[in-house]
Amino acid sequence: MLKLEFKVTPWDVEGMVDYDKLIEQFGTSPLTDELLERTARLTKSELPIYFRRRFFFSHRDYDKILEDYESGRGFFLYTGRGPSGPMHIGHIIPFYATKWLQEKFGVNLYIQITDDEKFLFKNLTLDETKRWAYENILDIIAVGFDPDKTFIFQDSEFTKIYEMALPIAKKINYSMAKAVFGFNEQSKIGMIFYPAIQAAPTFFERKRCLIPAAIDQDPYWRLQRDFAESLGYYKTAALHSKFVPPLTGLEGKMSASKPETAVYLTDDPEEAGKKIWRFALTGGQPTLKEQREKGGNPEKCVVFKWLEIFFEEDDKKLMERYHACKAGELTCGECKRYLIKKVQEFLKEHQKKRKEAEKKVEKFKYTGELAREQWERAIPEKLR
Amino acid sequence: MLKLEFKVTPWDVEGMVDYDKLIEQFGTSPLTDELLERTARLTKSELPIYFRRRFFFSHRDYDKILEDYESGRGFFLYTGRGPSGPMHIGHIIPFYATKWLQEKFGVNLYIQITDDEKFLFKNLTLDETKRWAYENILDIIAVGFDPDKTFIFQDSEFTKIYEMALPIAKKINYSMAKAVFGFNEQSKIGMIFYPAIQAAPTFFERKRCLIPAAIDQDPYWRLQRDFAESLGYYKTAALHSKFVPPLTGLEGKMSASKPETAVYLTDDPEEAGKKIWRFALTGGQPTLKEQREKGGNPEKCVVFKWLEIFFEEDDKKLMERYHACKAGELTCGECKRYLIKKVQEFLKEHQKKRKEAEKKVEKFKYTGELAREQWERAIPEKLR
């Protein structure tokens, strides 16, 4: 596997230093070669780039998930989206990883759209978060999930979630919630209750739940792991990803509030190209002469990082690009043009599927097999 | 009206001293003769004993309710029950008052069964509070509400209430909730959120809401009155009742946890009679001789109080009994036997209606006109 080569490259080592700290700080486990090889073996598949390039790098109980799969007990997937604005490239990548897991393991997937959370925590009306919920759901459906094994639900609508949150809300006291979420006297009571709503889907089935999400979401699930077994359920498992860097630099993550840092899934491909051309940070030298002489720094280059994380499927091509850059054979303009082409192809394809998704919303939310099964439990018998 | 005579009787003055303090302390308004006379005039009815004997003695904005009725804007009724055990006489009396209001004003009534609250605040499972919900609903239906104008809903089931609670939960911060409910670091996050669920039904219609309830419930609604208008709704109105004293004394109210203090609606009439005979506190003298000489103290007598609040419809008879007691013409045994007969008649009739209620649960919860209308809003269009 190529990742071994990558592991010794500077950017990955550099990146790994921080992420290793996170593993230690959060008390999670590294996603080892052994676990990845077992994943490949069990799914009889080649690993997708998110795993083989270690975009997902940490986990909790993923080994137990694989055991449950092997033993036939099975597991299910849960992920979500807070609908407070348009989705960008960084938001959608974990959904692709989730799609791969659903497809290869053949498991149910629950996608929680937290229009309640965004209403409670942001300066948005419920109508606004519901509108963003619809927009975001189109982007999510465009990823290509199995409509009979995927249930997309909005908290404000699938309010059965409130009943399911009750036993959880009786397990978490104010002091615990405050420690994880930093509440204070001014926090609204809706915000204080919200952790129970976010944990509820981990109990949708009496199987182990696997949550693929960026590592910063981990504290939410740590709370769940504290009380899950006392309610007769499993501690949730998780696969943790790194962040997709913003166009403008390797620090932090893409921010929806700074449009120049991100490529949105609904951006016009031409405009997206211009944005990348203008704002993408590269690891190039100040002059072409120096670039030819000293070579570039792909490890400090957002363009290279985006190719590595998502846009260059071909491991061989990515390595060639890395070495060519280091050797001064490539200019930053060439790399940017290559990324722009890749991003534009992706956006065109995504936007086509997004358009088609409009006709599929009903199935994912209400009439698909899994959706119907969940609503069946939510609507009193006398009214069905 | 008889109340004027009663007002000057010692027990009522004594009672009024405390309740006056409450009016002052809570900042509510006394339920005046003028308001009661207006009620009689508008409903073209004689006032029921709950009003003419001032069992309801205080209010907020009841004058505005009457204005809304007169102007044709209308209003609606909201009350509830926390299902943590069997209901007793003290629980059901406000429901009779509510039934009178519904019938005379011809308005919608929402009855919230807070199985979530009792689960969160008590040492009970959700299955237990759901079971009590069913039992309590039978008692409530037995009162005789209009099945097409009454919606009985359990929070754990009519979870649309969660969505309706969201805007409220964004208005109340932890500090406000703590001040009213006395929360602390150990309070469960479900308890902290609960005030939003309890306030939600006051917004079921864009009309003024009238809540008939014991005065101790007032703080809950005071919170609602703080933010209702900022959400585009009315401050809720309320009619406040006194407490029904326990069998064993005039202090406090009947407690479901002390079976000897209360007569339960499901008590066997024979057993209820024995309980009253054995435990009811009277205002009698130590010996029959003293009783004949000095007379009894109806103002210190639970038996008399129960007759006054609920079991002696006839004002003339009640006054005769009062004077006969004071004159030493009655023994406590005679009064107890009279109350026992009245209670037993009531229980037999109630239990007959309770049995019939089993067939009506579906209508009040799901298929009656008002219930259907509410569920219609709760179930997504695609699933109806």
Verify that B210 and B267 share a domain, yes or no: no
Q: Is any Cβ of chain B less than 8 angstroms from the Cβ of A186?
A: yes
**What interhelical angle do A160-169 and B189-199 show, nearest 10?**
140
Boundary of a domain, candidates B202, B227, B247: B247
What is the bridge-based pairing of β-strands B109-113 and B75-81?
Answer: parallel
For residue B103, with 0-12 CB atoms within 10 Å meaning exposed, 13-18 middle and 19 or more buried, which class applies? Answer: middle
Query: pLDDT tens digit string along A315-366?
Result: 999 999 999 999 999 999 999 999 999 999 999 999 999 999 999 999 999 9
Query: Does B116 lie at the interface with A, CB-CB under 8 angstroms?
Result: yes
CATH number of domain containing A60: 3.40.50.620
Residues B195 and B68 reside in one and the same domain: yes
Q: What is the full per-residue pLDDT of chain B (384 aa) written as tens digits?
A: 333 332 322 233 334 347 888 888 889 999 999 999 999 999 999 999 999 999 999 999 999 999 999 999 999 999 999 999 999 999 999 999 999 999 999 999 999 999 999 999 999 999 999 999 999 999 999 999 999 999 999 999 999 999 999 999 999 999 999 988 889 999 999 999 999 999 999 999 999 999 999 888 888 898 999 999 999 999 999 999 998 888 988 876 776 667 788 999 999 999 999 999 999 999 999 999 999 999 999 999 999 999 999 999 999 999 999 999 999 999 999 999 999 999 999 999 999 999 999 999 999 999 999 999 999 999 999 998
Alpha carbons within 13 angstroms on the beta-carbon side of residue A358 total 4
Give the total number of structural domains in chain A: 2
CA A269, CA A281: separation in Å to the nearest integer?
19
Compute φ and ψ for A109, nearest 5 degrees.
-135, 130
CB contact under 8 A, A188 and B195: no
Q: Give the pair of three-digit tokens for residue A380.
A: 């009193």
Residue B379 lies in a domain: no
Q: Count the neighbouring beta carbons within 10 Å of the beta carbon of residue B7.
A: 12
* B23 and B165 inside one domain: yes
A227 close to B (CB below 8 A): no
Q: How large is the angle between the packed helices A218-227 and A10-26, nearest 10 degrees?
A: 30
Same-domain check for residues A213 and A324: no
Instruction: Give SS3 for B29.
Output: strand
The H-assigned helical ranges of B260-331 are 269-279, 288-294, 302-306, 315-326
Percent of chain A at pLDDT exceeding 70: 94
Instruction: Examine the domain organization and report whether A333 and A286 are in the same domain.
Output: yes
Neighbouring CB atoms inside 10 A of A33's CB total 12
- The rounded distance, in Å, linking the Cα atoms of B168 and B176 is 12
Same domain, A87 and A173: yes
Residue where a domain terminates, one of B212, B247, B282:
B247
Integer Cα distance of B83 and B130 in angstroms = 8
In a domain, A252, yes or no: no
Indicate whether A1 pLDDT > 60: no
Residues B178 and B225 both lie in one domain: yes
Q: Are A339 and A194 contained in the same domain?
A: no
> Is B380 inside any structural domain?
no
Q: Give the domain extent around B171.
A: 3-247
User: Nearest-CA neighbor of B77 among B165, B170, B208, B192?
Assistant: B208
Asked if residue A365 belongs to a domain, the reply is no
| Pairwise CA distance, residues A247 & B312, whole Å | 81
B237 shares its domain with B156: yes
Q: Which residues pair with B295 in a beta bridge?
A: none
CB contact under 8 A, A189 and B167: no
B173: nearest CB among A156, A185, A367: A185
- Residue B378 is encoded by which pair of tokens? 């709760």
A242 and A279 assigned to the same domain: no
Non-local (6+) Cβ contacts of B135 within 8 A are: B83, B86, B87, B266
End of a domain among B186, B216, B247?
A: B247
CATH of the domain at A350: 1.10.240.10
pLDDT at A256: 65
In a domain, A164, yes or no: yes
Residue A366 lies in a domain: no
Q: Min CA distance, B59 vs chain A (Å)?
A: 28
A275 shares a domain with A242: no
Would the CB atoms of A195 and B189 count as touching at under 8 Å?
Answer: yes
Question: How many CB pairs (< 8 A) connect A and B?
Answer: 138
State how far the alpha carbon of B164 is from the alpha carbons of B168, B174, B254, in Å: 8, 19, 33
Instruction: Say yes or no: A112 and A70 in one domain.
Output: yes
Alpha carbons within 13 A on the beta-carbon side of A383: 28
Note whether residue B269 is domain-resident: yes
Nearest CB neighbour to A174, from listed B116, B171, B189: B189
Give domain status of residue A195, yes or no: yes
Task: List strand residue ranges (DSSP E) for A157-262, in order.
Answer: 208-214, 237-241
The amino acid at residue A74 is G
